[in-house]
Amino acid sequence: MRILILSTAMLLAAGAAMAQAASATQEQITAAASALLQAFADAQAAEGYVVDFELGQLDPRLNLAACGDQLTAEFSGDPWQTTQPTLLIQCEGQRPWRMYLPATVTITGQVFTASRPVARGERITRGLVSVEQSVINSTRRAPITALEDLLGKEASRSMNRGTVYTPAYVEEPDAVQRGDHVIITARSGSFEVHTRGKALANGQTGEQVLVENLSSSRRVRGRIVGPGRVEIPM
């Protein structure tokens, strides 16, 4: 009987120790995840964004080895592209393990929206831009958050009033358009010759375009080096 009572007591003690270790491990996980999210929120606050976050629930059946070292935590995906990022929690101790913990993160900040309907190909000016506060990471396409990255671009598709500007809606304008008068530069080392020409197609900086030399009527292909400027090798 004494042996049975002793065995039962040892089992209960072992179970209590395991439960205590599991509880401590869960506390470690929660602490590491919370520290990561708070550091992220503080860093974004310095840039003018407001970050709210909430940890997901740990599985009560979780049974991981106690970690002698400090746990590491990182985002397993980009929190700027989803409000439901997953956190990777890792133990690098003698009995290493890793687990994923869900979280809810909202990043609120300034976004730019169309102040009126915008037609495809229309140049984006300050008058076409309104400023609003919005949850930036609520869509997979992150909005444009710097005005200098928006002004001067062209609408790559039509937009309704209130549409949030994202890189999918704008593109670099053509530096040269068909029919434009351009300066043609023929270059060889430090020696160069300039003449006037006419663009026979549209193109952006860095692209090849066919131009007509207005002096000789000769057609040549050159590289667009800037608005209204085309360079050809000699």
Is residue 36 situated within a structural domain? yes
Q: At residue 85, does pLDDT exceed 60? A: yes
Which pLDDT score is estimated for 15?
40
Same domain, residue pair 45 and 85:
yes
- 24 — pLDDT class (breaks 50, 70, 90): low
Are residues 49 and 73 both part of a single domain? yes
What pairing do the DSSP bridges indicate for beta strands 229-233 and 219-226? antiparallel
pLDDT tens digits, one per residue of 139-173: 778 889 889 999 999 999 999 999 999 999 999 88
Domain with 223 in it? 181-233
Tens-place pLDDT, residues 180-215: 999 999 888 778 899 999 999 998 888 999 999 998
User: Rounded distance, CA 228 to CA 210, Å?
Assistant: 13
The answer to whether 154 and 121 are in contact (CB under 8 A) is yes
Give the chain's domain count.
3
**pLDDT at residue 66, rounded to an integer:** 81
State pTM to two decimals: 0.63
Q: Which of 87, 106, 125 is the last residue of a domain?
A: 106
User: Please, which residues bridge with residue 129 across strands?
Assistant: 114
**Is residue 205 domain-resident?**
yes
8 A C-beta contact, residue 32 and residue 71: yes
For residue 77, what is the DSSP state? S
